[in-house]
Structure 1
Amino acid sequence: MTSLKYVCSMALKISFGPISWLMVSEIFPLRTRGKGISLAVLTNFGSNAIVTFAFSPLKELLGAENLFLLFGVIALLSLVFVVTSVPETKGLTLEEIESKILK
């Protein structure tokens, strides 16, 4: 049931999951966008695999409470990153976003 809640929250865009997919499509210059997106997707799936494979050993090592506390701290750090470092791109074309990021 917990994994269903996780998937639903990601699908409904009420978490930080969609931000990485949205950013990937906007941050690379047009000339390198294809290679950049493929590398970012590989990194995203690789990170997910690391979390998946490390979850059980970390749960045994830290305990469930501490592990979820660690995940909560990571989530708070990601919130700080998004609020302070991710530029607003609503209503901008890809060319305008590129010039805004490259300033």
Structure 2
Amino acid sequence: MSADLPDERGAAGLASAAAGFDLDRAWRLHPQVSVRPESFGALLYHFGTRKLSFLKEPALLALVEALPAHASARAAAAAVGLPAASLDRYQRALATLAASSMIVEGSPL
């Protein structure tokens, strides 16, 4: 599974998944997920489901790591300097991670 950012060709297929992901809620890594930073981004491994996800962009890793420290995914995106114009791409990536239980709704730290 990959949670890299989809290009415009794949965006239409992921639009419905992203629509269900609320950027204005608090999110965090699932407690059973381990993050291994890599030169391309990171590997996420869920010990409960035994699923592996690839984050193929360092900015997406920065966003995922910032999630628990902010009241919403939108606030985390702003904190790591993601431009508002590209937020829909990151929303789709976060929706993919939420669908695979890599991230879950939760209170900020």
- TM-score, normalising length: structure 2: 0.26
Pick the structure with greater CA Rg.
1
> Which structure has greater helix proportion?
1
Identify which of structures 1 and 2 has the higher relative contact order when contacts are C-alpha pairs closer than 8 Å and 6+ apart: 2
- TM-score, normalising length: structure 1: 0.27
